[in-house]
Amino acid sequence: MRNAALAASVSAALTLTQCGSTTSTGGGGHAEPVQDTVKLNNGVDMPILSFAAQVWDSSTCQRATNDALEAGFRYVWSSALIGSDCQRAQSAAIQASSVPISKVFVAGTVNTGSCSGSDDCYQQTKSGAQSQFDILKKNPLDMLMLDYPSSASGCDGVLGQWKAFEELYAAKKVRTIAVSNFNLDQLKCITANTSATVPSVNQLPYALGHGSDPVVETNGALGVHVMAYSPLEIDLSDPDLAKIATAHKKSSAQVALRWIVQRNVSIATQSTNPEHLKQDADIFDFALTKAEMAKLDAKSSSQRIIV
């Protein structure tokens, strides 16, 4: 999407579409997905709940990814930071799943935060992207994300990274392009050019306790949707959280994830426990009240979003 059309579509770009909850097949198969989606700034519908593997061995990566698909996840976010072996295992799980690959939103990442200068950042990013296409084996890839902005050369490096992404997007090798760990100034390195493609997503640490952080609003003003990583790095024994969970017959973790959803933020979560994955997927059949949201919004955290 171009900046010239941005103002009219910011609201639509950040609108969650309510679809319900996941339901079990009851026969040992995968759960049928009934998840919320967000319409990104270029019109792509992205599931707001994604499975994101960690630095695990290959067998764990493949098994956990399969378990996530069976639990109803339809978004596999696969980062270059977990290593190519784990990513290949995730790809193998997607290919072997009874869920058609066309029904799975697949994202890869490129880690070129240490690049220096426009040309170096462009070349490294282009090479890293090709590796993701080769590993993840979906054409076009649903999303490609920069893990980090260039740290050594400011806007010059960021623009080199983004030039590579824009070329891939224009060539239709990827449906949408995104960033991670970008502060507002780094986002504006891109959006200052009115002909630039605006990043569809900025993935950031976001969890209960960040209710006063402005990042959702500041990114949203540019048309950029916020995705939360580390969404459960919180105190799940918090008494207010536990009380709200009891009222809804949910776990504290489910309430914490639901709070993120109702803040218009999507989620990248992970577990190697199939039951936890099923619980994580089961957050679309209830809603927190205004009073509950206000109580949870007021929670403070010593951590801060990148702004």
CATH number at residue 198: 3.20.20.100
pLDDT band, very low/low/confident/very high, at 24 (cuts 50, 70, 90):
very low
Q: What is the pLDDT of residue 301?
A: 67
* pLDDT for the residue numbered 243: 97
Mean pLDDT for the stretch of residues 234-253? 96
In a domain, 307, yes or no: no
Q: By mean pLDDT, which of 26-35, 41-50, 266-275 is the weakest?
A: 26-35
> What's the burial of 236, exposed, middle or buried (CB within 10 Å: 0-12/13-18/19+)?
middle
Nearest-angstrom CA–CA distance, 57 and 185 = 37
Residue 306 belongs to some domain of the structure: no
Question: Is it the case that residue 33 has pLDDT exceeding 90?
Answer: no
Residue 287 in domain: yes
| Residue showing tokens 């950042």 | 121
Q: Average pLDDT for residues 115-131, to the nearest whole number?
A: 97
* Residue 303 placed within a domain: no
Does the pLDDT of residue 35 top 50, yes or no? yes
Given a cut of 70, whether residue 100 has pLDDT beyond it is yes
Q: How confident is the model at residue 49 (pLDDT cuts 50, 70, 90)?
A: very high
Residue range(s) defining the domain that contains residue 104:
3-297
Residue 66 in any domain: the answer is: yes
Backbone angles phi, psi at 231, to 5 degrees: -75, -15
3-state secondary structure (DSSP) of residue 110: strand
Average pLDDT over residues 39-58: 97
Percent of the chain whose pLDDT exceeds 70: 86
Q: At what angle do helices 239-248 and 290-297 cross, to 10 degrees?
A: 160
d(CA 165, CA 153): 18
Contact (CB, 8 A) for 169 and 162? no
pLDDT over 50 at 12, yes or no: no
Per DSSP bridges, beta strands 16-17 and 37-39 are antiparallel
In a domain, 273, yes or no: yes
Q: How many domains does the chain have?
A: 1
pLDDT score, position 1:
39
Mean pLDDT in the chain? 89
Q: Residue 300 is which amino acid?
A: S
Q: Which two tokens stand for residue 107?
A: 């994202």
Residue 305 within any structural domain of the chain:
no
Residue 55 within any structural domain of the chain:
yes
Percentage above 90 pLDDT, the chain: 84
Give the pairing type, strands 266-269 and 75-77: unpaired
Q: What is the pTM of this model?
A: 0.88
Output the pLDDT for position 244.
Answer: 98
Average pLDDT over every residue of 263-280: 96
Helix 274-281 to helix 58-71 angle (10° resolution) is 40
